[in-house]
Structure 1
Amino acid sequence: MATRKEHDFIGELEIDDSKYYGVQSFRALENFKMTGRTFGDYPFFVKAFAQIKKAAAMANAELGVLDKTKADYLCKAADRIIAGEFSDQFVVDMVQGGAGTSTNMNMNEVLTNVALEMMGKKKGEYGPDTLHPNDHTNLAQSTNDTYPSSIKVATYAKLCDLQAELEKLEAELNKKGQEWKDIIKMGRTELEDAVPTTLGNTFKAFGHYIKNSLKQLELAKEPMTHLNMGATAIGTGINCHPDYKDCVEKHLSAITGIKFIPSTNFIAATQDTADFVFVSGVLKSLAVRLSKIANDIRLMNSGPRTGLSEVELPKMQPGSSIMPGKVNPVICEVTGVACYEVFGNDTTITHCSERAEFELNAFEPGIAYALFNSIVILENAARTLRERAIVGLKANPEACLNHVLNSVGIVTALNPAIGYEKSASIAKEALETGKRVGDICFERGYLSREEIDKLLDPKNMLDPRMTK
């Protein structure tokens, strides 16, 4: 195996010459063996980081602090990384100490060595006349501004992907709501009979959940556009051209097609990571809604002979190794599990954000890992629920109507006509005897059969009305 020698202030190491990463990435490989999930496993994060580096090179060249030829090579190398090349070279574990320095240097080393090869040089041939990971690729930068800024750029992009998936789910839920608008079913509160509704109402409500989450995600994207590029180490902008912060944001906006702006206070922005807590809170709210939808469908599907059987989920796989013919609601269940992961990630993000001390939050890698996992798992959960549960979901109108007709809950419709006390007495007798509430009301002579049939017609219980 051909090797090359690289060094840092700790010492010298032999690096496999086929690798584009260098000595600092290698040390991180040795030090951080936590999750088995690497920087390269999150291609949207790699892309965002490369976009940041490209914007920095362009800004530095425009401001005259970086040789234009060097900047051009760095930009060309960044374009290749943005396009998805060299993904296997981003090897550091997502969970790491050092506030993300290992991730930043992994990008700096790979970007530099790709650019060196494009210049006709060898990997590791760092120098003032060629390129250096720190002096050129990291010029006017620090991990403390590039790392959180890259998290924000990546988060913004993935939130857009999540929104696109949720829009499809919302449309499918609303489609079911329209198709099933005339299917009467029993409403339930606290798992007990309440008053009638329609299956269409249920699914339109589900669609509205997602609509609300889409609005909240749009709000959550806004703080992701405020970056601290130009803050360098702690927000004072040391080793940075005074005009750099505006220049780099201009180039980054052009590269991404998203309007990014400098934070109004770089000192605060470099140490305060609560914006990520806000985003995570919106994701947790979405997870609550997805889990609720999935579990309600799971309960409505229960049976097929001894449960509610109001809807029928598509059959995905055999449900038991011992019970022939059993089919489980696995898509609804996996959606719930995915959402619980998001709840846990929210706790991680909260604690990591709270650990900001003085001028920096050293626990940002924990935020990035948990936040990205939440967005990805919610995107997958929304897609899976839609494609493998909602699209093929079938209604059982007969079962829905029978539940209504046999319910004691419909006695509520008699309240305006005969009063709460008489209605409660009817409900008690119905529960004790199994008789229908309408028959008991007629036997007691409270109302005529015509009046009872009109009041207890499920269709007459679906909107506001008062009968004297």
Structure 2
Amino acid sequence: MMHRSAYPRLASKIKLSSGVKISRFATLSASCASKFSTWQVVRRQNLLRTPSILAMQNSQLNYVISSQFHTASRKMDEYRVESDAFGEVQVRSDRYWGAQTERSLENFKINQPQDRMPTPIIKAFGILKGAAATVNIQYGLDPKIGEAIQEAAKEVADLKLIDHFPLVVWQTGSGTQSNMNANEVISNRAIEILGGKMGSKKPVHPNDHVNMSASSNDTFPTVMHIAATLELENELLPALKSLRKALQAKTDEFEAQKIIKIGRTHLQDATPLTLAQEFSGYIAQLDFAITRVENSMPDLRLLAQGGTAVGTGINTFKGFDEAIATEVSKMTGLKFKTAPNKFEALAAHDALVEAHGSLNTLAISLFKIAQDIRYLGSGPRCGLGELSLPENEPGSSIMPGKVNPTQCEALTMVCAQVIGNQTAITVGGMNGQFELNVFKPLIIRNFLHSTRILTDSMRSFEKNLVIGLKANVDKIASILQESLMLVTCLNPKIGYDMASKVAKNAHKKGITLKESAMELNALSEDDFHKLVRPELMIGPANYK
């Protein structure tokens, strides 16, 4: 039998095909030696006396040692060694990330995987790193290395390597870990493309080549702006404009039906208006929302890249920042410019705070629209019931036949979340100390969250509610005729005070306005019919 002192020596000699020692074998060999030592103690205590038992114990010990090293040998093929300034770490062989990403996985185990860096940020990293490689080739980067970086970066931008970006947003406030995640993934993929050995940092180094002319401090705010702009331009604005169009079509439908309804202020009866007029207010809110979002976007198209560590542009070249903005514009099809002041671009995120303010206002508008429609559709028999909402799914587990305004409720909950995100982004925007804002991941995570849930909920609201919305014409007419506020049209004839008496008398006695007016001798029946006409109450009077 091999002496126990030989196990650590044997383990130290076992190496990967790469020639790099695996530190786990020291642990495994120590474990085997420990098992051997325990068995020796038992033997010395004469608890294992018979030759047959001793033989069985020897056999079991050999089996344990054999299985331990067999398992370890198999694991050797599953891991490779990566290194950084803190030393060596093991990384799964099928992952492109390197030492710094692996350390971050260990150091920031916070709500994985739910709070991983948003996908639009990963896409933006791919775009920016590819653009940087193109520009850096012009400034001395080996074209062979640069082209490999471009190819790898495109795969990142196309989200083909999304599984290799495992970090959560809860990390350093500059986003350094995620920037290095991108550098390491692109470096190792580029090495693979060039036929090299992953983890070697040759011929493509994550810092020297992929991160050339850059710092996390200007890279992360740049990808924040790229991601925010792409999501607003390609996702949120199209969804918002589509919802506006659907509401316009519904308004036109109501206009053609010439539906007059009672208005309501303070949740109390007011003077009449048309259903189309009511919905036109919603359309105007969305028109203003579109304008606000679009007006906030020019500042998001200003890129921090070129400011490097503190905004001075150290380790870059004159013209580098403009060239980056030009290249990003080519790659995205959107017009980006270099930020005129890099110190502001690194230390503050007022542009994102402002842009999210437009989303916050949109959320408030959508909340009002959804809430109104929900109330107008309440019932179906004991509520207002002026609108019929599409029936999409059962509404109760106990009340048969019940249908709920689910789309309205989902949208209003989304709006509440966006309003909460606004608070987080506001606090994040405040946390720029001296030359760097250090709440960057928080800001962009909440910004992109708002963008996505607003986009999705608007599409859902349009498809599953607005398109199928119907007016209950008979119910609307019935409620209109019961309203005491029609008395308002009598003001020019009998005066405010008498009109008020007519309304209060009708309400107190439970009679109609006409009956009350006749009882109080306020005016003749003929004059009443001439004046109390809802269709004449939905706009200014035409005086010649």
Does 2:534 align with 1:461? no
Q: Does the CA contact (< 8 Å) of 1:54 and 1:74 recur in 2?
A: yes
Alignment counterpart, residue 83 of structure 1, candidates 158, 163, 167: 158
Provide the residue aligned with 2:504 in structure 1: 428
Q: 1:374 aligns with which of 423, 440, 450?
A: 450
Alignment of 1:223 onto 2:318? no
Q: Using the alignment, how far apart are the partners of 1:370 and 1:272 within structure 2?
A: 16
Q: What letter corresponds to residue 283 of structure 1 in structure 2?
A: L
Unaligned runs of 5+ in 2: 1-74
Structure 1 residues 77-116: aligned runs within 5 Å: 77-116=152-191
Structure 2 Cα separation of the partners of residues 34 and 219 of structure 1: 36
Whole-angstrom distance in 2 between the partners of 1:96 and 1:453: 73
Give, in whole Å, the separation in 2 of the partners of 1:98 and 1:285.
27
Q: Distance in 1 between matches of 2:110 and 2:449?
A: 15
Q: TM-score, normalised by structure 2?
A: 0.83
Match of 1:173 among 235, 247, 265: 247
Distance in 1 of aligned mates of 2:403 and 2:118: 35
Matched, 1:154 2:227: yes
8 Å Cα contact 2:80/2:92 also seen in 1: yes
Aligned residue identity for 2:179: N
Letter in 2 for 1:49: F
Give the distance between the partners of 1:39 and 1:24, measured in 2 at CA: 19
- Aligned residue number for residue 214 of structure 2: 141
The match for 2:57 is none
Superimposed CA distance per residue, residues 79-116 of structure 1 (whole angstroms, 9 cap, x where no aligned partner): 12222201111110023224100111111111111111
For the 8 Å contact 2:221–2:345, the answer to whether it is kept is no
The amino acid of 1:400's aligned partner reads I
After superposition, the C-alpha distances for 1:377-433 in whole angstroms (9 at most, x for unaligned) are 110111111111111111101111111110011111111111110111111112111
Structure 1 residue 190 corresponds to structure 2 residue 259:
no
Q: Is the 8 A contact 1:411 1:437 kept in 2?
A: yes
Q: 8 Å contact 1:174–1:207 — kept in the other structure? A: yes
Contact 2:322–2:338 under 8 Å retained in 1: yes
Correspondences of 1:288-367 after superposition (within 5 Å) = 288-367=364-443
In 1, are the aligned partners of 2:506 and 2:515 still within 8 Å (CA)?
no
Percent identity over the alignment is: 37
CA distance in 1, matches of 2:116, 2:442: 16
- Length-normalised TM-score, structure 1: 0.96
Is the counterpart of residue 444 in structure 1 residue 520 in structure 2?
A: yes
CA RMSD of aligned residues (A): 1.5
Q: Point out where structure 1 has 5 or more consecutive residues left out of the alignment.
A: none
The ranges of structure 1 where at least 4 consecutive aligned residues each deviate by more than 6 angstroms after the TM superposition are: 38-41
- C-alpha distance in structure 1 between counterparts of 2:107 and 2:415, whole Å: 31
Deviation of 1:353 (Å): 0.9
1:411 aligned counterpart, secondary structure? helix
Contact map agreement 2:214 2:305 (CA 8 A) in 1: yes
Cα distance between partner residues in 2 of 1:244 and 1:33: 37
- Indicate which of 237, 241, 266 corresponds to 1:163: 237
CA distance in 2, matches of 1:198, 1:184: 4
The partner residue of 1:207 within 279, 283, 302 is 283
Letter in 2 for 1:285: T
* More displaced 10-residue stretch of structure 1: 315-324 or 297-306: 315-324
Higher relative contact order (CA 8 A, sep 6+): 1
Q: Corresponding residue for 2:89? A: 13
SS of structure 2 residue aligned to 1:13: strand
Is the CA contact (8 Å cut-off) linking 2:117 and 2:167 kept in structure 1? no
Return the alpha-carbon distance in structure 1 between the equivalents of residues 244 and 474 of structure 2: 26
Q: How many residues align?
A: 465
TM-superposed CA distance for 1:40, in Å, is 6.5
Task: Choose 409-418 or 333-342, whichever is displaced more.
Answer: 409-418
